[in-house]
Structure 1
Amino acid sequence: MKALVVRGGWEGHRPVEATELYVPFLKNNGYDVRIEESPAIYADQAEMSETDLIVQCMTMSTIERDQLAGLREAVRTGTGFTGWHGGIADSYRASADYLQLVGGQFATHPSKEPALCGGTEDDNFLPYTVTMTELGQGHPITAGIGDFELETEQYWVLHDDLIDVLATTTHPVRPWHPWHRPITSPAIWTRRWGDGRIVVTTPGHSLDVLENPNVRTIIERGILWATRTASGS
């Protein structure tokens, strides 16, 4: 099996260090791993046709039209696509076609009470629960993993109805925020696109979150589940 790791974009998500956490897992499971520092490889039709899985960690950044077309075609014809946090759910903000492919887009991560904010990244670190859905309780990616707690960025996600939600997180009403009822966002989802499988895991802002046993297990299982299958089903 061939795995392609595509990393880069905003350095705050530590794309090199974050992806290096999972390269040993890929190699130990029999993947031949290629690492690229930009999405330019997506435009290489020959290379993409032989790629069984893409692990992307590319927060924000930009993508050219031929690169995105290559990515979409690869997934449509069976290449798996997975990633975590902003590396997949906040990539290529200017591309509606990328958003359609992935099915969900980071909108914000609500902050602490303003009086407690000091202008550092942990202003947006809140305690929250990742809650398994009925589908998630029996899915190969999340089966046996109960609801769990994190204290990190809690993603508010804009999404469509083609995603299959394995876990959610709920943003409560707080006096300093303008919404008037709790908002539930998908926290982990899968998506079928043609013959391809997509897995998005929204926790993963920092290395300690990626090393959380629940988060790491979900990402690793998602890698295996998304990989190209002979049947495409």
Structure 2
Amino acid sequence: MSPFKRPMMLALLALLALSQARAADTRPKVLVLTGSGPSLPHAQQYPPWVHEFQNEEVARILEDSVHVDVVGDLSVLDEARLAPYEVVVSNSLFLTPTPAQLEALRNHVTGGKALLTLHSGILSFLNADFYEEMIGGLFIGGPTKDPGTFDVVTENMEFWYYGYAFRPARRHPVSAALGDFEATDELYYFQPGDRDLQVIARAENHPVMWERRWGSGRVMSLVLGHDLRAKRNPGYRALLRNGVRWLAGYPVVQPVRDMRVDADAGRVEGALDLARLAADRETGPLEFSLAGVDGDDVVDVHLDRRGRLDLDVRGREGVATVTVAVRGSRGLASTVAFKVAVDARRHGDLARYHGVRAQVSSVEARDDVKDAGHLVDGDPATRWASASVDPSWAMVDLGRTLAFNTVALHWDEAFATRYEIQVSDDPARGWRTVFTESDGDGGHDEIRFPTVQARHVRMLGHRRKVPQWGYSLYELAVYNR
């Protein structure tokens, strides 16, 4: 081959490979619109408001799920140029598009696509007469002078306890897939103006992430992420990644806790209902399928398309890793993996095995503390709370008679100062007290007593530390040590 033709051939091959790679990229497209517009008039004692956007970091957070284009030219706000993008991310400050550009953005979202504002991006498009309605409220203050450290609460709950909910307390799929976290960041203040707006996360009771429907599309805001350190917080990264995935049409799946089952369990029907742990933005039916089982000599796994998972335990000890694919109504899929440990003899927390059930005497009115299953779910962030009444009890049914000699209680601030630990093989025939506490101080109580054989164990509370509250426990664990 001629030495002149060889470079040309290599260039053509490289161009062909690039075009094939682009053709094979089926990820949804996301437009990150960035840059600063003219600074608004400000008091003389304050400097002009400027910001760094760290677009490279934003792209890195998202690149495993979507194709990201970062653009700093407002001319992209054109209906034809916006058409390929499922999500427009405003990572900007004081951008003032023309009326025609604003109308193109409005039509894009109303027609079924999505807008996400990041941090100071909530302060772009202020020249749009529809913008306050579009984002669901008003920016009313901030940023703070210096970044502060605070807890980010990933539940849609209001921090008061008087029995009236201003908004439904349902948890958004984006935040249901992660827990609370601590952040060092700027805290912007936002005043919701739409009752249908759903808060995804709060800090110091202020919304820091929220979402609402806009026509056939969605609008979401995340006001955290002031600087590079804030954007590298794992909690922030999970909120941003989950938010964009959900807006783009991926199902968002909550983590599945590892399971422990007895080797002689045989057929375990309904071991897991995955449909309760996954959602996409269309709220349509999802399709579930097995993506893999590493350890099928330990268990056979059966999964129907609706997310019901059954197990056939083969009778031998071991651990299987199960991976499930969840496909949404737009054809996009997410995966989730979890372990199934099979034990011939129970060890560790006996209350963490499949088939164990918790029951309680009463519950507080708040939805997030009503589930008795929180006592045995292994999650240190979930809890049960009783009504404000004495006596009250929380009981665990171990599913079979077992030997044990230790009960561990992890109390919330609403703890018992006087309580009993009782055991029984049949609660209808009575209980036997194995331990009495008359001066409890909350926190973690590890209670030891002579080894007993029983199926049921309960905490029976007689006196509360705080009279206006009930009893509240994060965990009730049972051990044979």
TM-score tier (shorter): 0.7 to 0.9
Q: What residue is the counterpart of 1:23 in the other structure?
A: 59
**1:196 and 1:62, CA in 2 relative to 1: closer, same or farther beyond 3 A?**
same
Q: Which amino acid aligns with 2:102?
A: L
State the 1:22 CA deviation: 2.7
State how far apart, in whole Å, the 2-side matches of 1:96 and 1:228 are. Answer: 29
Q: What residue is the counterpart of 1:131 in the other structure?
A: 153
Deviations 1:11-61 (A, max 9, x none): 84312xx22113244443252x3322033211x211222321112211123
Question: Is the 8 Å Cα contact of residues 83 and 219 (structure 1) preserved in structure 2?
Answer: no
State how far apart, in whole Å, the 2-side matches of 1:223 and 1:147 are. Answer: 19
Question: Is the 8 Å Cα contact of residues 155 and 171 (structure 2) preserved in structure 1?
Answer: no
- Aligned to 1:165, the other structure's residue is in SS state strand
Q: What residue is the counterpart of 1:189 in the other structure?
A: 210
State the 1:2 CA deviation: 2.1
Q: What residue is the counterpart of 2:74 in the other structure?
A: 39
- Of 140, 148, 151 in structure 1, the residue corresponding to residue 173 of structure 2 is 140
Q: What residue is the counterpart of 1:51 in the other structure?
A: 85
Question: Is the 8 Å Cα contact of residues 53 and 228 (structure 1) preserved in structure 2?
Answer: no
State how far apart, in whole Å, the 1-side matches of 2:202 and 2:213 are. Answer: 19
State how far apart, in whole Å, the 1-side matches of 2:178 and 2:192 are. Answer: 24
Q: What residue is the counterpart of 2:35 in the other structure?
A: 8
**Bigger Cα displacement from structure 2, 89-98 vs 61-70:** 89-98
**1:200 and 1:163, CA in 2 relative to 1: closer, same or farther beyond 3 A?**
same
State how far apart, in whole Å, the 2-side matches of 1:25 and 1:95 are. Answer: 29
Deviations 1:184-230 (A, max 9, x none): 42111111112212221111111110110000110011111111589
Question: Is the 8 Å Cα contact of residues 32 and 89 (structure 2) preserved in structure 1?
Answer: yes
The aligned runs of 1:1-233 (5 Å cut-off) are 1-9=28-36, 12-15=50-53, 18-31=54-67, 33-42=68-77, 44-87=78-121, 89-109=122-142, 111=144, 123-134=145-156, 138-161=171-194, 162-170=196-204, 184-227=205-248
Higher relative contact order (CA 8 A, sep 6+): 1
- Aligned to 1:21, the other structure's residue is in SS state helix
State how far apart, in whole Å, the 1-side matches of 2:281 and 2:178 are. Answer: 27
State the 1:134 CA deviation: 4.0
Deviations 1:45-83 (A, max 9, x none): 112223211122111231211111111110011112113
State how far apart, in whole Å, the 2-side matches of 1:8 and 1:200 are. Answer: 17
State the 1:169 CA deviation: 2.3
**1:190 and 1:26, CA in 2 relative to 1: closer, same or farther beyond 3 A?**
same
Q: Which runs of 4+ in 1 moved over 6 A?
A: none
Deviations 1:164-186 (A, max 9, x none): 1112223xxxxxxxxxxxxx421
Considering only CA atoms, is the larger Rg found in Structure 1 or Structure 2? 2
Question: Is the 8 Å Cα contact of residues 155 and 175 (structure 2) preserved in structure 1?
Answer: no
**1:146 and 1:73, CA in 2 relative to 1: closer, same or farther beyond 3 A?**
same
Unaligned 5+ segments in structure 2 are 1-27, 38-48, 158-168, 251-279, 284-481
TM-score, normalising length: structure 2: 0.39
State the 1:137 CA deviation: 7.6
- Aligned to 2:174, the other structure's residue is in SS state coil
Question: Is the 8 Å Cα contact of residues 6 and 57 (structure 1) preserved in structure 2?
Answer: yes
Identity %: 27
TM-score, normalising length: structure 1: 0.76
Unaligned 5+ segments in structure 1 are 112-122, 171-183
RMSD of Structure 2 on Structure 1 (CA):
2.6
